Amino acid sequence: MDHIAVSKFKATCLAVLERVRQTGEPILVTKRGEALVEIVPAKQPTEGNRRLGTMAGRASIVGDVIAPVGDANDWDALSG
Protein backbone atom coordinates (compact mmCIF):
# COMPACT_ATOMS: atom_id res chain seq x y z
CA MET A 1 0.00 0.00 0.00
CA ASP A 2 1.34 3.42 -0.93
CA HIS A 3 1.51 6.16 1.65
CA ILE A 4 1.54 9.94 1.37
CA ALA A 5 2.19 12.75 3.85
CA VAL A 6 -0.85 14.78 4.84
CA SER A 7 0.74 17.99 3.52
CA LYS A 8 1.25 16.44 0.08
CA PHE A 9 -2.25 14.94 0.18
CA LYS A 10 -3.70 18.37 0.92
CA ALA A 11 -1.92 19.85 -2.10
CA THR A 12 -2.90 17.01 -4.48
CA CYS A 13 -6.16 15.78 -2.97
CA LEU A 14 -8.22 15.51 -6.16
CA ALA A 15 -5.43 13.77 -8.06
CA VAL A 16 -4.94 11.26 -5.23
CA LEU A 17 -8.67 10.52 -5.05
CA GLU A 18 -8.82 10.01 -8.82
CA ARG A 19 -5.84 7.66 -8.64
CA VAL A 20 -7.54 5.56 -5.96
CA ARG A 21 -10.73 5.46 -8.04
CA GLN A 22 -8.93 4.36 -11.19
CA THR A 23 -6.50 1.83 -9.69
CA GLY A 24 -8.68 0.54 -6.84
CA GLU A 25 -5.63 0.48 -4.56
CA PRO A 26 -5.86 2.21 -1.16
CA ILE A 27 -3.49 4.96 -0.07
CA LEU A 28 -2.44 5.61 3.53
CA VAL A 29 -2.24 9.26 4.57
CA THR A 30 0.31 9.88 7.32
CA LYS A 31 1.07 12.73 9.69
CA ARG A 32 4.61 12.83 11.10
CA GLY A 33 5.06 9.21 10.06
CA GLU A 34 1.93 7.92 11.85
CA ALA A 35 -1.10 6.61 9.99
CA LEU A 36 -3.88 9.20 9.91
CA VAL A 37 -6.40 7.85 7.43
CA GLU A 38 -6.69 5.25 4.71
CA ILE A 39 -8.24 6.28 1.40
CA VAL A 40 -10.05 3.31 -0.18
CA PRO A 41 -12.26 3.13 -3.26
CA ALA A 42 -16.02 3.21 -2.68
CA LYS A 43 -17.93 -0.04 -3.02
CA GLN A 44 -20.13 -0.14 -6.07
CA PRO A 45 -23.75 -0.94 -5.26
CA THR A 46 -24.92 -4.29 -6.54
CA GLU A 47 -28.36 -5.07 -7.91
CA GLY A 48 -29.13 -7.25 -4.88
CA ASN A 49 -28.84 -4.36 -2.38
CA ARG A 50 -32.08 -2.68 -3.40
CA ARG A 51 -34.13 -1.64 -0.34
CA LEU A 52 -37.14 0.14 -1.80
CA GLY A 53 -39.82 -2.39 -2.65
CA THR A 54 -38.15 -5.43 -1.10
CA MET A 55 -41.34 -6.38 0.76
CA ALA A 56 -43.65 -5.83 -2.23
CA GLY A 57 -46.29 -8.54 -2.45
CA ARG A 58 -45.48 -10.06 0.93
CA ALA A 59 -48.16 -8.38 3.07
CA SER A 60 -51.92 -8.52 3.06
CA ILE A 61 -54.56 -6.24 4.56
CA VAL A 62 -56.94 -8.01 6.91
CA GLY A 63 -60.01 -6.14 8.06
CA ASP A 64 -60.85 -2.44 7.93
CA VAL A 65 -57.72 -0.27 8.04
CA ILE A 66 -59.66 3.01 8.29
CA ALA A 67 -61.96 2.27 11.24
CA PRO A 68 -60.68 3.03 14.75
CA VAL A 69 -59.24 0.13 16.73
CA GLY A 70 -61.21 0.87 19.89
CA ASP A 71 -64.28 2.73 21.00
CA ALA A 72 -64.01 6.54 21.36
CA ASN A 73 -65.36 6.24 24.93
CA ASP A 74 -62.21 4.32 25.92
CA TRP A 75 -60.08 7.47 25.49
CA ASP A 76 -59.97 10.02 28.33
CA ALA A 77 -58.88 12.79 25.95
CA LEU A 78 -62.11 12.45 23.94
CA SER A 79 -64.44 12.61 26.92
CA GLY A 80 -66.13 15.78 28.08
Q: Domains of the chain by range and CATH?
A: 1-41 (3.40.1620.10)
How many other β-carbons are positioned within 10 Å of the β-carbon of residue 56?
7
Residue scoring higher pLDDT (13 or 74): 13
Q: What is the 3-state secondary structure (H, E, C) of the chain?
A: CEEEEHHHHHHCHHHHHHHHHHHCCCEEEEECCEEEEEECCCCCCCHHHCCCCCCCCCCCCCCCCCCCCCCHHHCHHHCC
Q: Which pLDDT score is estimated for 3?
A: 94
Q: Convert the pLDDT of each residue in 18-72 to its tens digit.
A: 999 999 999 999 999 999 999 999 987 766 667 788 788 888 888 888 887 777 7
What is the pTM assigned to this prediction? 0.55
Between CA 50 and CA 69 the distance in angstroms is 34
